[in-house]
Amino acid sequence: MNHTSYIEISKSAYKKNIQFLRSEVGENTTISAVIKGNAYGHGIENIVPIAEGVGIRHFSAFSAAEALRAYNASKKQSEIMIMGMLENSDLVELIEKGISFFVFEFDRLEEAIKVSKKLRLKAKVHIEVETGFHRTGFEWEDREKLHKILNSNLDHLILAGLCTHYAGAESVSNYVRVRDQIKKYLAYKDWLLEKGLEFEKFHSACSAATFSYPETIMDMVRIGIASYGFWPTQETYMYKFKTLPENNKNPLKRLINWKSTIMSLKKVKMGDFIGYGSSYMAPRDMVIALIPIGYSNGFSRLLSNQGKVLISGKIVSVVGTVTMNSIAVDITDLSGVKKGDEVVLIGKQKKNEITVASFGESTQQVNYELLTRLPLDIPREVIA
Ligand SMILES: *Cc1c(COP(=O)(O)O)cnc(C)c1O
């Protein structure tokens, strides 16, 4: 190992998550695997083949750059969809490659039609409507103009989808707002259908909406966090818990394990300060282990004197400050620990486990943020 830590990515965990999601959404709903944020930190190039191996044929990216990475990683001609940013100058390549994209502004719509005419290739678009998220989407007031443009350009457009996104389906405090969004989406849908437009897929649900508002499941769901083995929030899990079968109360499995090794051991006398400054004074004679990961590797400085890691299957504490490249942990009460032993930062070792949630709780980061902040230069290794 010439890196100071590495991240394992479990294929079998992904498979279990998709099996559970499949049982939730039924056979007739497409699962689009959301791979924005470098596949929530797992690596687009790792996740696309794993997902295709378990039957996924639809991927959702945020940007054109991510979509092209997914396109290149795909071996099964999967559909690739962009939910967010692209430049008009990207349109030629995207349309040529058959990559679909959200359209939420007249500028993008008109430009897509122009490029499609020039290429004599239909642009695959997902029309995003504003229902209350107030980020992107065509307003209700835009409907006449929207309908007119779509209807008169059906030779240049494939209406791949009609979509929206909910503003916080993972928390009951947004219940009224989400209910209102569902109503507005259905009204927009009905209006366009009555005008005679047809869309290949209606889609609105993310992970939380899929679990907490099953009526949002429709033709396709866009699933990110749950496919990586996390509940959107503890609240979503609690909501779902009672309906989970007795023998499978924990159906979502984390894909990642983050591991390092002990770099060196040191004895410290009672009263000595450990590391920079004076944040930790040894309360007794101690043995510490140095681990070669620090805040430059995504182990937050906020975990100084707070963080926990696993060594020899036991939970041990970070002592002193997290530095750029290393931490010290207290192993005084362990025996037989030696240089080179495995250290688990996230994951299981023997009977104990450090979860992303527990790792994040002491730094107030949500799962989503913590995952996507794991630095790109830590090697990801796909395991069975
Ligand atoms: C991120 C995102 C999703 C997936 O959200 P999860 O909570 O990770 O399932 C779905 N739709 C859109 C538009 C998104 O931006």
Same domain, 227 and 79: yes
* Last residue in a domain, options 212, 241, 270: 241
Q: How confident is the model at residue 319 (pLDDT cuts 50, 70, 90)?
A: very high
Q: How confident is the model at residue 364 (pLDDT cuts 50, 70, 90)?
A: low
Averaged pLDDT for residues 209-228: 97
List pocket residues of ligand 1, CB cut-off 6 Å.
Answer: 34, 36, 83, 165, 206-208, 222-226, 232
Please choose from 222, 370, 371, 372 the residue to mutate so as to test ligand 1's pocket, defined by most ligand atoms within 8 A of CB.
222
Q: How confident is the model at residue 350 (pLDDT cuts 50, 70, 90)?
A: very high
Question: Is 135 labelled as part of a ligand binding site?
Answer: yes
Does residue 384 fall inside a structural domain?
no
Q: What is the pLDDT of residues 59-80, one digit of tens each?
A: 999 999 999 999 999 999 999 9
The pTM (predicted TM-score) of the whole model is 0.94
Residue 289 is predicted with a pLDDT of 98
Same domain, 79 and 227: yes
DSSP state of 318: B
Does residue 6 fall inside a structural domain?
no
Task: Report the distance separating Cα 383 and Cα 380, nearest Å.
Answer: 10
Between 158 and 275, the higher pLDDT residue: 158
Same domain, 224 and 286: no
- Let me know: does 161 contact 200? Beta carbons within 8 Å: yes
Same domain, 277 and 219: no
Residue 30 is predicted with a pLDDT of 98
Same domain, 131 and 269: no
Same domain, 105 and 194: yes
Does residue 72 fall inside a structural domain?
yes
pLDDT at 8 over 70: yes
Task: Report the distance separating Cα 10 and Cα 259, nearest Å.
Answer: 14
Q: Domain with 177 in it: what CATH number?
A: 3.20.20.10
Could you list the residue range(s) of the whole structural domain that residue 27 is in?
Answer: 11-241
CA-nearest residue, atom 3 of ligand 1: 206
- Let me know: does 290 contact 328? Beta carbons within 8 Å: yes
| Of the candidate ranges 22-36, 173-187, 361-375, the one whose mean pLDDT is the lowest | 361-375
* Last residue in a domain, options 241, 266, 286: 241
Same domain, 25 and 132: yes
User: What residue type is 59 in one-letter code?
Assistant: F
Does residue 21 fall inside a structural domain?
yes
Question: Is 324 labelled as part of a ligand binding site?
Answer: yes
Same domain, 166 and 295: no
Task: Report the distance separating Cα 320 and Cα 329, nearest Å.
Answer: 8
Q: How far is the CA of 224 from the centre of ligand 1 (A)?
A: 6
Four-CA torsion 13, 355, 224, 18, nearest 10 degrees: 20
Q: Domain with 311 in it: what CATH number?
A: 2.40.37.10
Q: Report the DSSP pairing between strands 264-268 and 123-128.
A: unpaired
Same domain, 88 and 46: yes
Does residue 350 fall inside a structural domain?
yes
Q: What is the pLDDT of residues 94-135, one digit of tens each?
A: 999 999 999 999 999 999 999 999 999 999 999 999 999 999
Q: How confident is the model at residue 373 (pLDDT cuts 50, 70, 90)?
A: confident
From the CA of 62, give the closest atom in ligand 1: 15
Mean predicted lDDT score pLDDT of the chain = 95
Does residue 383 fall inside a structural domain?
no
Same domain, 214 and 270: no
Averaged pLDDT for residues 31-57: 97
Same domain, 74 and 188: yes
Q: What is the pLDDT of residues 232-269, one digit of tens each?
A: 988 999 999 999 999 999 999 999 999 999 999 999 99
Does residue 371 fall inside a structural domain?
no
Q: How confident is the model at residue 366 (pLDDT cuts 50, 70, 90)?
A: confident
Domain count, the chain: 2
pLDDT at 1 over 70: no
Task: Report the distance separating Cα 129 and Cα 143, nearest Å.
Answer: 9
Same domain, 153 and 287: no
Residue for token pair 């030696």 = 338
Q: How far is the CA of 207 from the centre of ligand 1 (A)?
A: 7
Does residue 288 fall inside a structural domain?
yes
End-to-end CA distance of the chain: 20
Task: Report the distance separating Cα 140 and Cα 142, nearest Å.
Answer: 5
